[in-house]
Amino acid sequence: MSTAPSTALPLATPRWPPSRRLINLLGFLACAALLGFGYYLQFGLHLEPCPLCILQRLAIFSTGIVFLLAAGHDPAGGGARVYAVLLALTAGIGAAVAARHVWLQYFMPGADKLACGMDLASMLEVLSPWETLRQVLRGTGDCTQINWSFLGLSIPAWALIWLVFLGVVGVERNWTRA
């Protein structure tokens, strides 16, 4: 019996860790999916976002834009580290807002006594940007309500988890050499 040489192609092993560009692209797609789900909750299920929810959406949007720019640019060395810092800032600010929102929902004593405040657009018309931010972070009655949950976690809790995850992965992948 003769052995003929194998003509089968060798199986390609996946590259690990994935390329920086792929991780940045996946980070952008995750942010786009999160925003899409947020709009589904707003327009499909008619859940109006409170001012803190809007700030979290802005943070997710900003994080997604940084991921997209990093994927398109795909720099090496110092350039990638700039994107890592930008991802840390956008995701970190969003996570801080989400953490404040979670605290308001789950841990604020007397949260049911909060009066519903103005919506974000009205605040921006009447107040300065800094005073608006101060009022938003203080929270309103709308911010303490939990209208939707999955696995026992509210929307801001999921936003916190995702922002921390995306921030850590984005910073780690863009900071290290690849």
From CA 140, how far away is CA 25, in angstroms rounded? 36
pLDDT of amino acid 110: 54
User: Mean of the pLDDT values across residues 79-85?
Assistant: 88
From CA 95, how far away is CA 26, in angstroms rounded? 19
pLDDT of amino acid 173: 87
The better pLDDT of the pair 76, 26 is held by 26
User: Mean of the pLDDT values across residues 54-60?
Assistant: 89
- Note whether 62 and 99 are within 8 A (CB): no
Tell me the residue ranges of DSSP E strands in the chain. 149-150, 153-154
User: Mean of the pLDDT values across residues 146-175?
Assistant: 87
Q: Give the domains, in start order, of the chain with CATH numbers.
A: 20-175 (1.20.1550.10)
pLDDT of amino acid 22: 87
Buried b (16+ CB within 10 A) or exposed e, 128-162: eeeebeebbbebbebbbbeeeeeeeebbbbbbbeb
pLDDT of amino acid 124: 67
pLDDT digits (tens, 9 = 90+) for 91-128: 999 999 899 888 888 777 555 544 445 566 666 677 77
pLDDT digits (tens, 9 = 90+) for 1-35: 556 665 665 666 566 677 888 889 999 999 999 99
- φ, ψ (nearest 5 deg) of residue 8: -70, 140
